[in-house]
Structure 1
Amino acid sequence: MTGPLNQLRIVELGHVIAGPLSAALLSDFGADVIKIESPSRTDMMRDLGPKAEDGVGVWWKTLGRNKKILSLNWKSAEGRDILRKLVEGADVLVENFRPGVLERGGVGPNTLHEWNPDLIILRVSGYGQDGPMRDVPAFGRAAEAMSGLAHLTGFTDGPPMHPGFPAADSTTGLMGALGIMLALFAREKGSARGQVVDLAVFESLLRLMDYPVPALTGANHSPRRNGLRQPMDFAPGGMFRTSDGVWLTVSAGSAETAQRLLRAVGGDALADDPRFSTLAEMSSHMTVVFDAINDFVTQRTLSEVEAEFARHDAVASRVLNVEDITTNEQICHRGDIVSVDGEKTKVIGPIPHLSATPGALRWLGRPPGADSRSILHDLGFTKERITALCEAGHVSVKDGEGTP
C-alpha cells in the first residue's frame, strides 16, 4: 500500500528537532522529503547523543528517516538556482532558522511564493516571526519555561523541572505537521493558495498545556507544581511505589472511577465517606485521598495491587523504562517499534495507525549527500554539470550513493 501523502513533496531546510520532526512525521505517511544540508555543516543531530554500532547517531537515524539527503549551499547563486528548481516542484518548505535568515539569504516567503505561489511554508522559531521577542535566541528548554510546563513540574518545595524528553521541540514538530496539513487542506478547498505557517516553539506547549490560563482567568485559580500529584489535584491519583519497588501511576478522571479507586484502597468506609461523594468535594480533601492510596500501595506488592485494582476496575499503570517498552506485549502487538532490513537500530513506527493507507518506515537516516546526485539528475542536471557544482563547493555527493 502507498501512504496517503505519497504525492506530497517537502523541501526541508530544518535542523535539530522541531522542523525536521514535522517533516519526518509526514514522511512516515509517504511524503517525499528532500532534506538540504550545507556541504560544510551537517545537521548536528547526526552527532548528538549515543552512536549505533555503525557509528551513526541513533537520534539522526530516526529524525532523518524516510528522507532523501541533498548536500547544497543554498546561499550561493548556483545553490539558490537549485533551490528554486526544487521549490517550483514542491508543495511544502520547512525551515526553523532564526527569523530573518531566509530573508537575508534572498529566499524569504515573498521570493518563495514568486517561485511557487502554491507553496506552503512552515516557519518554526523560538518566539515567532514578529513581536518584541522575535530576535531573542531560544531553545526548547526556554520554551518549556515560557509555556509554564517547567513551573508545573517538580515538587512544591523544590525547583521547577524540565521533562525527560525535548517536550517543546517534539510538540512543535507535531504541531508543525498539523499546520502543514491545515494549510494544504485550505489550498485544496480553494480558500487559500500558498501560505505561511508561523509557529513559535513555546506556543505548541502553551496550546497543549491550555488549562492553566482558563483556570486563572475564569476561576481565579493558579496551578502550582505538586510533586507526585497533579498541579490542580482535581481528581484522585498520583505516583506511588509498591513494597517490591515498582512505581505505579494511579488515576481516576470521573466521580464513578474515583469511587471505584477509593473502594479498592479503602473499602466501603472510604468510598462512601460523604467527603468524597463528588469530585468537587473530593478535591477539598485530596491529601486524605492521596495518603489512603499511598498507604495501600506501599504496603503491597505489584501483583497484589494489580489484583485488587482489577477486582474493582480501577486504574493503576506500571511506569515502564525503555527496556520495558521494547518488550511490552501491547506495544509489540501494535507494531509500534520497527526497523528496516539490515539495520539493528529500532525506532518508533508511524503513528497513528490507518486502516487503508498506513504509514511505513522505508529507511533510516542516510549519510550526508547520499541523494545529491540522483536529486540533481531528476532536476535535469547532467553528470558533467553535477561534477562542476561539486568541484566549486556548491554541492557535495557521497561516493557510491544509491537510490533508497
Structure 2
Amino acid sequence: MPGPLDHLKIIELGHVIAGPFSAALLSDFGADVIKIEAPNRTDMMRDLGPKAEDGAGVWWKTLGRNKKILSLDWKSGEGRDILRKLVEGADVLIENFRPGVLERAGIGPETLHEWNPDLIVLRVSGYGQEGPMRDVPAFGRAAEAMSGLAHLTGFPDGPPMHPGFPAADSTTGLMGALGIMIALFAREKGIVRGQVVDLAVFEALLRLMDYPVPALTGANLSPRRNGLRQPMDFAPGGMFRTSDGVWLTVSAGSAETAQRLLRAVGGDSLADDPRFETLGEMSQHMAVVFDAINDFVTQHTAEEVTAVFARHDAVASRVLSVEEITTNEQIRHRGDIVSVEGEQTQVIGPIPHLSATPGELRWLGRPPGADSRSILSDLGFDDEQISALCEAGLVRLEGRGTP
C-alpha cells in the first residue's frame, strides 16, 4: 500500500541532524526525499560515531533512511539550473544552514518561490532568521542551554547537565516535520500557497519546556534542578535504586494514584496521614514522601517492589539500558525496532503507528551519489550529459568520486 505521503516530494539541503531528521520522519510515511550533498563534501553524519560492518556510520544509516542521494554542486551555474528543475517539481525544501547562506547563493525564499510559488521551505537555524542573535553560531548543546533544559537537569549542588541524546536537534526535527505538515495543510485548504517555516533549534525545546514560564510569570515560582526528583515535584515520584541494584522511576499524577503509591510504600498510616490528603498539601511535604519511597525501594529487590506496586495499582518502571530496549518484549511486539533485508543494523521504526497507512522502512542510508544517475535521468539528462557533469566535478556518481 502506498504511504500516506507517497506523492510528497522533498528536497533536502540539510546536514547533520535537525533538518535531515525532519525529512527522515516524513520519509517513513512515503515522502519522496532527495538529499543533496556536495560532490566533494558529504554529510558529516556519514563518518560521525561508530561504524557498521560495511564501514558506514550507523547514525547515518538511520538519518539517511528512505532517502535518495544526489551528489550535486548546487552553487555552480549548471548545478543551480538542476536544482531549479528539482524545486519546480517539489513540495518542500529543507535547509539548516546558517542564516544568509541560501541568499548569498542566490536561492533565498524569494527566488525559490519564483521557481515554485507552492513550495514549503523549512529553514532551521540556531537562533532563527531574524533577531539580534541571528548570526551567532550555535549547536544543539547551545540550544539546550538557551531553552532552560540544561538548567533544570542535574543535582541542586551540581552543574547543569545535558541529556544523554541530542535533545535539541531531535526535537527540532520533530517540530520541523510538524511545521511542514501544517503548512501543507494550509496550502491544501487554499489559505496560502507556499510559505517559509522559520524554526530556531532552541525553540522546539522551549515549547516543550512550557510549564516553567507560566509557573514563574503566573505564580512567581522559579524551578530549580532537583536531582532524582522533578524540578517542581508537586506529585510524588522520582528515581530510586532497589536493593539488587536496579533503577526504577516511580510516579503518580493525581491525588488518587498518589494515595495508592503511598499505601504501597508505607501502608495505611502513611496514605491516611492528613498531610497527604491532597496533592496541594502533599507538595508541602514532598521531601517526607520522597524519603518514604526511597526507604521502601532501597530495602527491596526490583521484583519485590514491582509485585507490591502491582497489587496497589501503582507505577514503578524499570529504567532500561539500550541492550534492554532492543530485547524488551513490548517494544518488539510494537515493531518499534526494525531493519531491512541485508542489513545487520537495526533502527527505530516508523512512529506513530497508523492503523490504515502505517509507515515503512524501505532502506537505510545509501552511499554518496547513490541515486545521482537515476534522478538526473528523470530530469531528462542522457548518459553523455551525466558523464560530462561528472567529469566537470558538478556531480558524483556512486563509486566515482570527483576528478
Tell me, in whole angstroms, the C-alpha distance in 2 between the residues paired with 1:274 and 1:105: 68
Q: Aligned to 1:151, what secondary structure does the other structure show?
A: helix
Counterpart in the other structure of 1:304: 304
Tell me, in whole angstroms, the C-alpha distance in 1 between the residues paired with 2:346 and 2:133: 39
Q: Aligned to 2:285, what secondary structure does the other structure show?
A: helix
Tell me, in whole angstroms, the C-alpha distance in 2 between the residues paired with 1:225 and 1:399: 51
Counterpart in the other structure of 2:216: 216
Give TM-score, length-normalised by structure 2: 0.99
Matches within 5 A, 1:1-150: 1-150=1-150
Counterpart in the other structure of 1:232: 232
Counterpart in the other structure of 1:330: 330
Amino acid paired to 2:172: T
Give TM-score, length-normalised by structure 1: 0.99
Matches within 5 A, 1:159-174: 159-174=159-174
Amino acid paired to 1:132: P
After TM superposition, give the deviation of residue 307 of structure 1 in Å.
0.5
Q: Aligned to 1:335, what secondary structure does the other structure show?
A: coil
Tell me, in whole angstroms, the C-alpha distance in 2 between the residues paired with 1:273 and 1:82: 73
Superposed CA offset, 1:266-325 (max 9, x none): 000000001001111100000000000000000000110000000000000000000000
Tell me, in whole angstroms, the C-alpha distance in 2 between the residues paired with 1:224 and 1:33: 42
Superposed CA offset, 1:107-164 (max 9, x none): 0000000000000000000000000000000000000000000000000000000000
Tell me, in whole angstroms, the C-alpha distance in 2 between the residues paired with 1:370 and 1:233: 51
Tell me, in whole angstroms, the C-alpha distance in 1 between the residues paired with 2:101 and 2:275: 59
Amino acid paired to 1:59: W
Q: Aligned to 2:150, what secondary structure does the other structure show?
A: coil
Counterpart in the other structure of 1:288: 288
Q: Aligned to 2:145, what secondary structure does the other structure show?
A: helix
Q: Aligned to 2:323, what secondary structure does the other structure show?
A: helix
Amino acid paired to 1:150: A
Counterpart in the other structure of 1:279: 279
Q: Aligned to 2:152, what secondary structure does the other structure show?
A: coil
Tell me, in whole angstroms, the C-alpha distance in 2 between the residues paired with 1:234 and 1:382: 67
Identity of aligned residues (%): 87
> Does 2:384 align with 1:388?
no
Tell me, in whole angstroms, the C-alpha distance in 2 between the residues paired with 1:218 and 1:279: 19
Could you tell me which runs of 5 or more consecutive residues in structure 1 were left unpaired when the two chains were aligned.
none
Q: Aligned to 1:170, what secondary structure does the other structure show?
A: helix
After TM superposition, give the deviation of residue 233 of structure 1 in Å.
1.1
Counterpart in the other structure of 1:379: 379
> Does 2:171 align with 1:175?
no
> Does 2:194 align with 1:194?
yes
Counterpart in the other structure of 1:246: 246
Counterpart in the other structure of 1:316: 316
Tell me, in whole angstroms, the C-alpha distance in 1 between the residues paired with 2:49 and 2:284: 45
Amino acid paired to 1:67: K
Counterpart in the other structure of 1:270: 270
Tell me, in whole angstroms, the C-alpha distance in 1 between the residues paired with 2:59 and 2:105: 29
Tell me, in whole angstroms, the C-alpha distance in 2 between the residues paired with 1:152 and 1:94: 31
Amino acid paired to 2:361: L
> Does 2:349 align with 1:349?
yes
Tell me, in whole angstroms, the C-alpha distance in 2 between the residues paired with 1:307 and 1:321: 21
Amino acid paired to 1:70: L
After TM superposition, give the deviation of residue 399 of structure 1 in Å.
3.8
After TM superposition, give the deviation of residue 55 of structure 1 in Å.
0.6
After TM superposition, give the deviation of residue 2 of structure 1 in Å.
1.4
Tell me, in whole angstroms, the C-alpha distance in 2 between the residues paired with 1:357 and 1:231: 40
After TM superposition, give the deviation of residue 264 of structure 1 in Å.
0.1
Number of matched pairs: 400
Q: Aligned to 1:361, what secondary structure does the other structure show?
A: coil
CA RMSD of aligned residues (A): 0.6
After TM superposition, give the deviation of residue 74 of structure 1 in Å.
0.4
Superposed CA offset, 1:351-400 (max 9, x none): 00000000000000000000000000000011111011011111110149
Amino acid paired to 1:294: N
Tell me, in whole angstroms, the C-alpha distance in 2 between the residues paired with 1:276 and 1:399: 68
Superposed CA offset, 1:181-238 (max 9, x none): 0000000000010000000000000001111100000000000000000000111000
The runs of at least 4 consecutive aligned structure 1 residues that moved more than 3 Å come to none
